[in-house]
Structure 1
Amino acid sequence: MHIAYVCTDPGIPVWGAKGASIHVQEILRAFVKRGAQVTLLTPRPEGERPSDLTQVQVHPLPPAPKGEPTRRARALLAANDALTKALDDLQPDLVYERHALMSYAAMEWATQADRPAVLEINAPLIAEQAAHRKLALPHEADNAARRSMRAAGLVCAVTGPVAQYARTIGGKNVIVVPNAVNPARFPAPEPRPDRPFTVGFLGSMKPWHGLPTLVQAFFQLRRAVPDARLLIVGDGPERARIEEEFAKSGLSDALEITGLLPAAAVPEALARMDVGTAPYHAMADFYFSPLKIYEYMAAALPVVTTRTGNLNELVHDGKTGLVTSPGDADALTRALAQLSSDLPRAQAMGAAGRAHVLAHHTWDATAERVLTRALSRKVRAA
């Protein structure tokens, strides 16, 4: 089977280390492991690809110009013509697309060619663009999203709220397909070495990830656990502020920020942690499926998160981690203190979390489910 994987999002370097890049790579990897011939169509093919994905053929798409938003949006719309031509040339057996702003040609081509059309959607992109960047050509963006949703034979939404959004703009045969892990990247943990209790955070350092609450809780934890350390694996706009706060508190030696690491280095970094945190703030429209939580669990770390969205369904309070109220630094401090004072319990939670994700949330199982559904007569007929 020849699968065309389409990712037209100019913000995703497909061979990069950000979460979206890892997601792309893991789906490609799962398709390859099933014996498929895979062609990746992307405007961001730069970088060094993983050694086990060298057989993936890459078809570069026109890059979107940086700078003025309207010019960039028009270029994204125009790229639909290039995408149609590429698919005409490739004639794949199945088209799988990661939903992107202004993109509709892949799903429409597949439907017109009577090929299975799978659309993966990870966020309400139009609302996200309007809230955090600048949304140019809003009418055209909405029209493109609706065209893509209507044409898709199967829509795979990362969470329930994203699935509901997809349905409101024309998606049919919408299923929820959460994030997952690659067990090969996360071997069974070694015995814990003798070291200070280490609180961990993996991901981009942005305000909505709850980092201010985490920093406050960590400062309070140090009163009870004087040698505790905070290890942040990632980078982002909050970094300078956090480093300044630690410096002012005289705790710079207790903080380590690695910056953005390549995917291959992340498991080793997680192995240096005793707990993984995801202290999201309260959000009425929380729609995320945090990859960090799945990777914490795969690394056998207990997870401390908040009652935001469906996170308390992913992290079972008292079994695979601890769940606190969003924005409550005192509650977060208590949770971290509980784990630091009872490492056997913390390790048991981590082991339970690892068993859960390896049994229920792997990329191989995700690919199997999606392709089986996409190739069924019911979806093809829809």
Structure 2
Amino acid sequence: MRILVCCADWGVPVGGSAGSSVHLRAMAAALSRLGHEVRLLVSNGAGPCPPGLSVATVPHRRLWPAIFGLVERARGCPAPAALETGGVSTVPAPGAVTDAPAPGAVSLKTRLYYETLPALADRVEECLVHPIAFGRAVSRMLADFAPEAVYERYALCQTGAAGALARAGEGRVPHILEVNASLARERTEKADDWLAGPWRLFAGRQEARLWRGADRVVCVSEALGRRIAEAGADPDRVRVVPNGVDAEAFSPDRPKGALRRLLGLGDGAVLIGWLGALSPGRGAEEFVRLLGQTLPQVPQARGVVIGGGPLDGTCRTLARELGLADRVHFTGPVAHDRVPDLLVDLDMAVACYPPQADFYFSPMKVAEYLACGLAVAVGRTGRADQAVTDGVSGLLVDPDAPGAFARALVGLCRDPDLRARLGAGAREQAMAGPTWLGNARLVEREIEACFEARVAGGGKWA
């Protein structure tokens, strides 16, 4: 069948290496491998890992730089060079006050001009303007490509695809909505300006409306599924499909040595690795602190942080403060298609998320560790006990027990036979799923179920 895969979130580049980009690209590729004709419609077509499928882009256009340029011209100031040449914008980002005035010296007018108005313009663009442009693009795809199903990655306030499908007529094309997080909660809770309250209310209503209106909602965990049902979505239309892995690309059979050559390490070093974005809440700082407890007990061990992000400098500084500057190695950002060749050089891998009251993620890194046949130590958080069988495919650790993680890692460092046994169990569990191809088959069945229900229901989905 013809399937249109949509992502209106401009924070998710289709060729990026973050988990969100990988998920988008992997599902589109897996649906294509099942024999479907797949086209992608996205807001951000950038990134070093193109999907190898037909991609159309609906770029967002920031309103504030244009407004800023007009105001500056009216004031008799030269327009920023980027606005004249089409280069990179030199307009201050929302929240940034230029010329660094002394604390307490910033006037209300300055804050309005450099903070409030840019933030307001960006939210108007994101929540009101871009959905219209994206919806028009979906309508064109419905006419030209004539998809038999639309599979969309949920993005905050992006109602364009749902609106286009509604205009096309109820029951014409099933809408499968993939939800990976409650973005209304995640993003609006971080806002601390006067816009936060109205934005939170608007975003929450739009989120619940999208969840309720989709023909199927595919989410990554039971906890997230419960939240979606509490927002008013029909529980019978909610499906839990955890993040998968490409078990062919992530394999213990890949040639080894790339990571050790990159870091200048010999075969005698025992490598303890962590993979992911160095962002708050992902466990990067926790991993470096864990190495501070582990490495002093195992002289031949080294820590490896694979990935980049805003906490890169913080983690490097922390490693120096712990006296581990020469024993903790940072690769920096890595394109996702290079990750398998680095993972296979590790002797073990860690997932150590910080304590969270409502952990609803499905860590992609754990699936990739398992597929590479690594011995893993994973905190008992969220659905970890479903992803890892304790003592068989890895070690489940109580993150609240003092020293438990360090003891697990020290034991793995000192017992190569245990590492080998757990690694074999990890690969076996990864092959049993979830995989991206298996997830695509589940989505395929849900689309077919929508068509069967339409026939049984006289033209309406059920």
Match of 1:128 in 2: 186
| Unaligned stretches of 5+ residues in structure 1 | none
Shift of 1:343: 1.1
Which AA in structure 2 matches 1:188? Answer: P
Call closer, same or farther: CA 1:186–1:20 in 2, change over 3 Å.
Answer: same
Pick one of 209, 213, 216 that aligns with 1:151. 213
C-alpha distance in 2 between matches for 1:82 and 1:170: 28
The Cα of 1:49 is off from its aligned counterpart by 4.4
Q: Tell me, in whole angstroms, the C-alpha distance in 2 between the residues paired with 1:190 and 1:262.
A: 17
Cα drift, residue 48 of structure 1: 4.4
Contact 1:3 1:94 in 2 (8 A): yes
C-alpha displacement of 1:315: 1.7
Q: What CA distance in whole angstroms lies between the structure 1 residues aligned with 2:402 and 2:330? A: 21
1:155: how far off? Answer: 0.3
Structure 1 CA distance, aligned partners of 2:62 and 2:398? 41
1:56 deviation in Å?
1.8
The corresponding residue for 2:56 is 58
Structure 1 equivalent of residue 82 of structure 2? none
User: By how many angstroms is 1:191 displaced?
Assistant: 9.2
Aligned-partner Cα distance in 1 for 2:277–2:47: 20
- The corresponding residue for 1:38 is 38
Does the 8 A contact of 1:216 with 1:329 survive in 2?
Answer: no
Partner of 2:72: none
Q: Partner of 1:265: helix, strand, or coil?
A: helix
- Of 203, 222, 236, 1:160 maps to 222
Q: 2: CA distance between counterparts of 1:18 and 1:331?
A: 29
Residue 72 of structure 1 is matched in structure 2 by: 122
Q: Name the counterpart of 1:95.
A: 150
Partner of 2:245: 181
Across the aligned residues of Structure 1 and Structure 2, the Cα RMSD in angstroms comes to 2.2
Q: 1:363 to 1:63 in 2, by over 3 A?
A: farther
Counterpart among 288, 293, 296 of residue 223 in structure 1? 296
Separation in structure 1 between the aligned mates of residue 356 and residue 28 of structure 2, nearest angstrom: 32
What residue identity is the alignment partner of 1:168? E
Deviation at 1:146, TM superposition (A): 2.4
Establish whether residue 381 from structure 1 lines up as the match of residue 461 from structure 2: yes
TM-score (norm: length of structure 1): 0.92
SS of the aligned residue for 2:156 comes to coil
Note the alpha carbon deviations across 1:273-319, whole angstroms, 9 max, x for none: 11111111221111110111001101111211112222133222211
Counterpart secondary structure, 1:323: strand
Change (3 A) 1:138 1:131: closer
Give the one of 272, 282, 302 matched to 1:199.
272
1:150, CA displacement in angstroms?
Answer: 2.1
2:4 alignment partner in structure 1 = 4
Identity of aligned residues (%): 30
Farther off after superposition, 200-209 or 338-347? 200-209
Residue of structure 2 aligned with 1:84, choices 116, 135, 157: 135
For 1:14, what is the secondary structure of its paired residue? coil
TM-score by length of 2: 0.77
Alpha-carbon distance change, 61 to 251 in structure 1, aligned in 2, over 3 angstroms: closer
- Which 5+ residue runs of structure 2 have no aligned equivalent? 64-92, 95-117, 258-266, 455-459
- Counterpart CA distance in 2 for 1:82 and 1:185 is 36
Q: Deviations over 1:322-367 (max 9, x none)?
A: 1222254511110001111111211211221111122221111101
Map 1:299-378 → 2, pairs under 5 A: 299-328=372-401, 330-376=403-449, 377-378=452-453
CA distance in 1, matches of 2:15, 2:417: 38
